[in-house]
A = this chain, B = another copy of it.
Amino acid sequence: DDSWEVAGRKFTSRLIVGTGKYKDFAQNAAALEASGAQIVTVAVRRVNVSDPKAPMLTDYIDPKTTTYLPNTAGCFTAEDAIRTLRLAREAGGWDLVKLEVLGEARTLYPNMRETLRATEVLAKEGFLPMVYCADDPIAAKQLEEVGAVAIMPLGAPIGSGLGIQNRVMIRLIVEGASVPVLVDAGVGTASDAAVAMELGCDGVLMNTAIAEAKDPIRMAKAMKLAVEAGRHAYLAGRMATRKYADPSSPLAGLI
């Protein structure tokens, strides 16, 4: 009953997982299953298209039951990203895509100027871009205005596992958004995912936290539960904090 929608498509899982850094496609598929995710994101530029005899991700993760979300990892200009997604659409018909236009290799921080430009072009061409972006509430609104169907602010640098650095800004983005907000990048362990959801996000995308855990399958399960936990906690409305203690049992009137 607690589903969410992006661009008219409905999902019950609020966790999106990646397809990088796994030992092999079989492990990736097993982690996906344990995570309960209904969406996987795939770097278009990494997909094997030249060697028909090499193994294919689609042999392990069925595109009929799992939504493939092509992404533009490795693109450093709007043009690059646009071209990559046009290719993806031609090849596979995808229109729901994840746009990322990176600024540099060191931080993998988004280039927001290029990201805004690419979002606008893609939206005009009929794409439905979910957009990796800075934790910037004004840029988030601008992305919405030019056609982003979801806002995906980073929690911390991609692959860093440092957790949600700026809770204030994620909260302000959520409060201001009229499309789904998903934290993308920075999650390192289960509690980080729960924090993202407790801030009111609609979902979380992660790759390294699962793929680089000692036991990726179990971590995928942990992330599934953490996202659900954080979502329920958000909906439940947490207690207020107190500066002093407050007894669970009244201190007066004891026998």
Contacts and interface: CB of A to CB of B under 8 A. Distances in A.
B238 A219 contact: yes
Contact of A241 (B160, B176, B254): B160
Contact of A248 (B159, B167, B218, B230): B159
Interface string A237-255: 1111111111111110011
Interface stretch (A3-11, A57-65, A103-111, A121-129): A103-111
Nearest to A142: B113
A247 to B, nearest CB: 6
Most buried by B among A104, A169, A224: A169
Interface string A74-115: 100000000000000000000000000001111111111100
Contact of A251 (B105, B166, B239): B105
A73 B45 CA distance: 44
Interface string A177-211: 00000000000111111110010000000011101
Interface residues of A, number: 95
A245 B159 contact: yes
Nearest to A207: B248
A151 to B, nearest CB: 14
Contact of A165 (B20, B46, B169, B218): B169
A219 B241 CA distance: 15
A110 B138 contact: yes
A107 to B, nearest CB: 5
Contact of A208 (B109, B214, B237, B239): B239
A136 interface: yes
Contact of A255 (B45, B166, B172, B249): B45
B249 A45 contact: yes
B162 A165 contact: no
Contact of A246 (B110, B159, B246): B159
B167 A139 contact: no
B214 A107 contact: no
Contacts of A45: 249, 254-255
Interface of A: 18, 20-21, 43, 45-47, 49, 73-74, 103-113, 116, 134-139, 141-142, 156-162, 165-169, 172, 176, 188-195, 198, 207-209, 211-216, 218-219, 221-226, 228-233, 235-251, 254-255
